[in-house]
Amino acid sequence: MNEAEAHAGHAGLDGAEAARRLAADGPNAVPDRARRGWTAILAEAAREPMFMLLLGAAVLYLLLGEPRESVFLLLMVLLMLGMTLYQEGRTEHALQALRDLSAPSATAVRDGRRQRIPATDIVRGDLIVLAEGDRVPADALLVDAGGVLIDESLLTGESVPVTKRSGHGDEAPAAPGGEGSPWVFAGTLVVQGEALASVRATGVRTEMGRIGAALGHIVPPPGRLTLETRRLARSMAVLGLGVSLLLVLLQGLRSGDWLQALLAGIALSMSVLPEEFPVILTVFPAIGAWRLARRQVLTRRLAAIEILGSTSVLCVDKTGTLTENRMALRLLWRDGVVHDIARDGAPPGAPLRELLDAVALAVRPHSPDPVEQALQKMAPPPAHLRLVREYGMTAARPMLARIWLDGERGRAAVKGAPEAVAALCADAGREQALQAAAALGREGLKVLAVAAADGLAPPWPDDPALLRWRLVGLVALADPLRAGIPAAIAACRDAGVRVLMVTGDHPETAGAIARQAGLPGGAVLTGPEIARLDAQALADRLAGASVCARIVPSQKLEIVRALQRRGAVVAMTGDGVNDAPALRAADVGVAMGGRGTDVAREAAELTLLDDRFASLVQALRAGRRIFANMRKSMSYVAAIHVPITVLALLPPLLGWPVVLYPLHIVLLELVIDPASSLAFESEPEEPALMRRPPRPHDEALLGRRTLLAALLGGLWAAALTIACYALALPRLPAAEARATAFSALVLCNLGLLLAHRQDGGAAAALRTGNPLFFVIAGAALAMLALALYLPALAGLLRFAAPPPAWLAAALASAALMTAGLQVLRRRLGNLT
């Protein structure tokens, strides 16, 4: 169905009327339950154990007759809630931006022409265009349909697609699942054919909208990292609660002051509780996905980001991913005569002009396929003939045949894979044509064979092979390699990531493009060869292949599974309806945003909005950076909680004056929270990030070695801070000794933060720009100065300004700790 045919009597709505109806009926969408408002974020934050402990401490201060401490603590609670709102709001903003980018679109006839618009803008009375691979955007009545099959399993549970027919304006609505019905429904899938449909219901008034409330409550299962971190946080929380209860009992029995004992117990619980972990797991993937979207890579499932860093094989299509997808007819071949149509224009002789005439009969007009568009420019379809039958391209029949009626007789033409078209013909020159196709393919050209059949009469056969075809010639199209592809392939090779080209093109064409792209040489594995291999043999053959050619979509799934059988973590690109199984089976499915179908985009975790391979490599780089920074942040959090816990626990156990009360923990959290989320999230990548092999897919975010390094670093910081306090206690008043120990803790915290930023340690971190780190470090030092020298605040914290020599001792403790971490790094390797 071409555009002129589609619009005959169907001009659609005008823009003004569509806007009026949109305002009256609302957007074509079910209510968005995924988006959280600030009240929901506040409610979630208020239920966190940390805030419960803070409120409990504020009540205890009131019971102790210390209202100033209670009010100050409540103000700190409000400040932390404000920080939570900012962090969660930033995350929610990023997630909403991703939802907006991934929102489906639809083709509607507006103001007499086809327009691609957001599906949410579809209104009653709109005339929508449906094509193979589309999701139906609204409930509608088909007004012009040919050979349409719809998968309505989402609404009916029946997996078999149903046929549809054109209807009339007065037809009563029918239920989903009806064979031969003219009604289509929102959310269902166009499996085959093209159609025009008149929208009758949108949004909550559709069949899908009626069950939308139930769908809105479906919560996706948590990812592996989330489950892993929950277990670690739960273990630390249980340990902290147990130790805190023992401390309360011991302190209470020893002193008889149970309220003070409870305060010490709350401080200890707060010091152990790793409340930063959930924030890290939320902020990093969301902000990372938002950054990726700005680089033309849309993340549909945030869990894919953790897998990107471990991807070891990229299976990529040739056309449009490695090449520019700008097809241009380059050469014509017939009976050994080659004509460069791109250079010399239309061919002078009748034989080659006959080849172009046959091409014109085999072209599908108004197709989005670049091949069809390129052929149509040089060979437009005939206006005086009537199309009566089309044989579409299938996996078993990689060619398109069309029959046209010219008066009483029929004429047919077919174009497609040279070996498939040649097999239809009985011509003596078939072998010569196949040799010529291989030669043209070696030049990197996409080659199609063309055949014709004349003098046909109905009835038309169901199988085009029953027609008497004669081979007319070959057409060769050029699709240049994208700029930067060799460099991107080299970057993958340096990163230990293998690139496997998977294409439906001729083996010679695929091999030529692979050489231009810089892929390793070797034998090309073809679809017919794969069909003869069992699963293990295929896995063995793929181990030495860089190119798979003449691949049908169903074989992509076999390739993915074979690679995974050998332990590979696979990313697979795809754009068609039949690519969906392979995209779902891959560890990371990657759909094409420019030329991909709705079904492919829904099946994939990532969508390349610009269809460029370089964007996929950038996504891989970003995935590695995000995972590495998450690990650094988690390691830092685990490390800093050790000295805080020791300083909260050990002095009461030894009978020394308490160092850390809830107020002190809150001040420390004002530094730790933004440092662990914002500073590490914005940390630049390591220089050697893309020169490392992929990490194992099952590698823990905080594995034993990483956790051991973090705990050892934290214990070293704890030993120095407690030593500083032990030395100060007999020489200074308790308030000054407490201030000295707290100063050492704050400075050690900055040292730990600095040491965990880059694998090269503190020196490498200082050479690496990260403005947020310096802002947080400056704020921490300013807070420490206020706590020591602002009398009102110092009184609340039970501080007195220590002599300069003891502040220098605190600074020396932090410097010694940082130096010790460098030694630990050399012994154990990177702290992360």
Query: What are the catalytic residues?
Result: 317
Kindly list the distances between the CA atom of residue 30 and the CA atoms of 34, 108, 119, 125, 182, in Å, as whole numbers in the listed order. Answer: 11, 20, 12, 19, 24
Question: How open is the CA angle 417-422-428, to the nearest 5 degrees?
Answer: 155
Kindly list the distances between the CA atom of residue 176 and the CA atoms of 141, 150, 154, in Å, as whole numbers in the listed order. Answer: 12, 10, 10
DSSP category for residue 469: B
For tokens 């992360």, the residue is: 832
Contact 485, 517 (CB under 8 A): yes
Contact 744, 729 (CB under 8 A): no
Q: How far is CA 138 from the centre of its chain?
A: 27
Is the Cα dihedral 731, 735, 741, 744 positive or negative? negative
Per the rule left: phi > 0, alpha: psi between -120 and 50, beta: everything else, 444 is: left
Strand 328-334 relative to strand 313-316: parallel, antiparallel, unpaired? unpaired
Contact 307, 674 (CB under 8 A): no
Task: Give CA–CA dist 603/593, Å, rounded.
Answer: 13
H/E stretch holding 415 reads strand 409-416
Beta-bridge mates of residue 606: 299, 590
DSSP category for residue 387: E
Task: Give CA–CA dist 325/513, Å, rounded.
Answer: 13
Task: Give CA–CA dist 316/547, Å, rounded.
Answer: 10
- Residue 317: closest CA among 479, 540, 442: 479
For tokens 């968005």, the residue is: 32
Task: Give CA–CA dist 727/547, Å, rounded.
Answer: 69
Beta-bridge mates of residue 409: 406
End-to-end CA distance of the chain: 59
Kindly list the distances between the CA atom of residue 512 and the CA atoms of 115, 500, 509, in Å, as whole numbers in the listed order. Answer: 38, 14, 5
Contact 322, 485 (CB under 8 A): yes
What is the chain's length? 832
**Other residues' Cβ atoms within 10 Å of the Cβ of residue 461:** 13
Task: Give CA–CA dist 595/212, Å, rounded.
Answer: 29
Residue type, 653: L
For tokens 């009469």, the residue is: 457
Task: Give CA–CA dist 193/728, Å, rounded.
Answer: 83
Question: Structure tokens of 483?
Answer: 């700029």
Angle between helices 370-378 and 350-361 (to 10 degrees): 140
Question: Structure tokens of 619?
Answer: 């996504």
Task: Give CA–CA dist 318/490, Å, rounded.
Answer: 17
